[in-house]
Amino acid sequence: MSPTQTFALRILFPAAIGGLIATLILLIAPEWVLPHVETPAPEAQLQQQATVTAHVQQGPISYSDAVNAAAPAVVNIYTRKIVKRRTNPLLDDPALRRFFGESEQPSDRMQSSLGSGVIMSTEGHIITNFHVIEGADEITVALFDGRDEEATLIGSDPESDLAVLQINLP
């Protein structure tokens, strides 16, 4: 017997017989296989339809309630840090200084950035991304009600890009 005939006899033939038996059972006695679903009473059907109709008449679903509840916890985070400015090495050449003068350019500059965070506790803990506060010399948090509070860094994890700040909440 060839391998194709062996495959047909051992796999395909039993699978075909099983499929035929399953089809006959579903056609003759579907209650043996399918769960029994009761048809609700007419009063229950009317109640269910009234509920669906009421939901449709209310209009589209809106997330405005969720936004209004969460908005006071969302804050803006302003950071400032001093960045060392590299001077151009060509300006160290005495011949070029003769033309451009001896004036020194300021080597430091202030860099500002903006991010966001969420107040997580009544003690004033705020969670934000680490990259928002990385290297910051000053961290200011702008609250929903318009107040600005200075924040201190409590902890950070650069690998997961998370940081925890704390502000004084009255």
Task: Determine the pLDDT at residue 2.
Answer: 73
Task: Determine the pLDDT at residue 148.
Answer: 95
Residue 75 and residue 145 share a domain: yes
Query: For the domain that residue 105 is a member of, what is the CATH number?
Result: 2.40.10.10
Task: Determine the pLDDT at residue 59.
Answer: 57
Structural domain includes residue 62: no
Per-residue pLDDT reduced to its tens digit, 2-33: 776 676 667 777 788 888 888 877 778 777 66
- Are 96 and 90 in contact by the 8 Å Cβ rule? The answer is yes
Task: Determine the pLDDT at residue 166.
Answer: 96
Residue 144 and residue 97 share a domain: yes
Residue 87 and residue 146 share a domain: yes
Work out how many domains the chain is built from and give that number: 2
Residue 85 and residue 11 share a domain: no
Does the pTM exceed 0.85? no
Task: Determine the pLDDT at residue 80.
Answer: 94
Give me the half-sphere count of Cα atoms (radius 13 Å) on the Cβ side of residue 39. 1
Amino acid at 1: M
Structural domain includes residue 63: no
Structural domain includes residue 60: no
Across 57-124, the runs of DSSP E, i.e. the strands, are 74-84, 108-119
Residue 150 and residue 92 share a domain: yes
* 24: containing domain: 3-53
Residue 112 and residue 32 share a domain: no
Residue 124 and residue 73 share a domain: yes
Task: Determine the pLDDT at residue 60.
Answer: 62
Task: Determine the pLDDT at residue 86.
Answer: 65
Structural domain includes residue 133: yes
Task: Determine the pLDDT at residue 105.
Answer: 58
Across 89-145, the runs of DSSP E, i.e. the strands, are 108-119, 125-128, 138-142
Residues of the chain short of pLDDT 70, as ranges, are: 1, 4-5, 7-9, 32-42, 44-46, 50-61, 85-92, 96-107
